[in-house]
Amino acid sequence: MFREINYQSAEEALSVIQSGHRVFVQGSAQTPLFLLRELAKQAGRLNNVELVFITVAGDITIDKPEYEGIFHINCMFVSESVRKAVNEGRADFIPVFLSDIPDLFKKGYLPIDVALVQVSPPDKHGYCSLGVSVDIARSAVNTAKYIIAQINPNVPRTHGDSLIHTDRFTSIVYGDEPLPEVDYGSKVGEDELRIGKYVAEMIDDGSTLQMGIGTIPDAVLKSLTNHKNLGVHTEMCSDGIISLVENDVINNTKKRIHPNKTVTGFAVGTRRLYDYVDDNPAFVFLDIDYVNDPHVIRRNPKVIAINSAIEVDITGQVCADSIGTTQYSGIGGQMDFMRGAALSEGGKPIIALTSRTAKGVNRIVPFLKQRRWCSYYTRTYSLCSNRVWCSAFVWQESASASQSLD
């Protein structure tokens, strides 16, 4: 049993935040939009409050021009919610591997004064869940001086590293709001499905999957219905995984670490996904410095890392975070899994993308300035293979389908 919760108003709870504080904001579907709206109302008493986070979802309010100088956004991934502010110079971006971010908190490079999180209602023992965004939130709440929690009955109760006791919270606010939703499957077109089939042909039964964000990883999942005994160890998952689990395509029986469990750091999708992982012991949400550690990733056999990109060049270099000088996303965990898959026995790091954008702009270009590394990349009409040794690209073989690029 635990003592009765003493709820506070958002105004009272947020009063702990002072000028010059660094504030962590939980992200993805767990973005505490109610707390951020309420924090914006206190702008008159604040100055130079730094807000750090990775992907946030929805209208976070404090990114608007009128709050410049009051709230300083210092994000470690550029999501749609803050993309305009970053590219207009009103917010900053820290390029960092997702797996390295917890160490920034734990080793004092980015000490956290206050953490804002959105959690599930407590169980009979007083434990709440961080829901579908454990990722870097676990380390943030472990190191923050103060924790302000919004208890939301719409937050699913997930297993793994997500549990936190109400005694840890400095203040608790109640806020019943729907979680942000994204339906990647609805955006999958013919080109993405074609790519998904190419990638599926490269995946052996018994492989362990990592899926990045976007329509192409979801298209790959749609093409795996005839596979057997697949496992999942991924930084994120979406709705595409559900039918494969229900039909025993994904059962995690061949994994060497966390067998019989789907391992992820966070989940982004529709309400169907959030309900599916709610109190589901087959899913474990773990701290991202473990999930994305290449030395952990490599321990499973046949790790298939499926990610997309903005551009690739003819030497095999990959750009996944910017369009020219416009910062579009961030480093995230792509490099963590590219390396982990390359080191896995029978593993394959795969970059998959359409050969042109929706506006007809070529995505396969002569050269680019930024680099990732992979063993395979798949485009709309063909499949190319190369092998990575250390940090260099060595073209080993090239195969194409019956059609070729324009």
Q: How far apart are CA 157 and CA 33, in angstroms?
A: 19
Q: How far apart are CA 77 and CA 332, in angstroms?
A: 7
Query: CA of 29: how far to CAs of 86, 166, 236, 283, 358, in Å?
Result: 21, 21, 12, 17, 27
**DSSP label of 167:** G
Among 371, 350, 358, 241, CA closest to 302: 350
Helix pair angle (190-201, 215-222), 10° resolution: 60
Strands of the 159-160 sheet, one edge to the other = 159-160, 283-285, 262-264
The catalytically annotated residue of 235, 246, 345, 397 is: 235
Q: How far apart are CA 27 and CA 63, in angstroms?
A: 15
Q: How far apart are CA 168 and CA 147, in angstroms?
A: 7
Among 185, 217, 188, CA closest to 200: 217
Q: Is 88 a catalytic residue?
A: no
27 neighbors 57 (Cβ within 8 angstroms): yes
Q: How far apart are CA 268 and CA 277, in angstroms?
A: 11
Pairing of strands 322-323, 326-327: antiparallel
Q: How far apart are CA 131 and CA 30, in angstroms?
A: 7
* Residues identified as active-site: 235
